[in-house]
């Protein structure tokens, strides 16, 4: 099997496992998310906190040891100081999360479990991605650079 094909299979297996874990934890359930956002249940916050508590030190350790990614590049975590666009993006994401009761990965689990709300949420996610891409392209034309606000590259003048 070619290297790219092998990575795709590995990605698919990890994605299926992640989806299974989301479903098992009921993170694709609209009521679970809304009870979390209403602060009626702290279950989801504890899950997110434990994921951060495990992954942050592990990623730091792997970066310190100069580990390579599956694609062969050196693991280098990006760091940036909080800026206004981080808060605006977080608020917009949170608003969408509150309205739909889901975010991108659980929306796919919702679809596979037959939840009809996913037929609204998934196109909404893609619409948001499309609008962000258009906004980013318009900004890069006027500022002469491309990037996500943190990782910018100058456009060469042709």
Q: What is the pLDDT of residues 4-20, one digit of tens each?
A: 788 788 888 988 898 88
Spans of all domains in the chain:
3-41+78-151
Helix (H, G, I), strand (E, B) or coil at 25: coil
Q: Which residue has the tokens 């037959």?
A: 114
Mean pLDDT of the 16-39 span: 87
pLDDT at 53: 97
Predicted confidence (pLDDT) at residue 157 exceeds the cutoff of 50: no
Phi, psi of 68 (to 5 degrees): -100, 150
Asked if the model's pLDDT at residue 92 lies above 50, the reply is yes
Query: Is pLDDT at 2 greater than 70 in this prediction?
Result: no
DSSP 57-80: HHHHHHHHTTPBPTTSSBP-----
Closest by alpha carbon to 110, among 132, 129, 125?
A: 125
Q: Is the pLDDT reported for residue 97 higher than 60?
A: yes
Band (158; pLDDT cuts 50, 70, 90): very low
């Amino acid at each position: 099997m070619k290297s790219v094909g092998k990575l795709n299979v590995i990605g698919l297996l990890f994605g299926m496992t992640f989806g299974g874990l989301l479903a098992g934890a009921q993170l694709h359930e609209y009521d679970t998310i809304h009870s979390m956002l209403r602060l009626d249940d702290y279950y989801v916050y504890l899950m997110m906190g434990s994921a951060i508590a495990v992954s942050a030190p592990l990623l730091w350790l792997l970066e310190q040891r100069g580990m390579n990614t599956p694609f062969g590049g050196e693991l280098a975590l990006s760091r940036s100081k909080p800026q206004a666009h981080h808060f605006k993006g977080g608020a917009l994401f949170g608003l969408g999360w509150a309205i739909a009761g889901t975010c991108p990965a659980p929306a796919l689990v919702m679809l596979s479990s037959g939840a009809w709300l996913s037929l609204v949420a998934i196109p909404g996610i893609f619409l948001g991605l499309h609008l962000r891409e258009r906004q980013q392209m318009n900004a890069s034309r006027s500022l002469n650079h491309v990037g996500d606000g943190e990782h910018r590259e100058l456009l060469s003048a042709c």
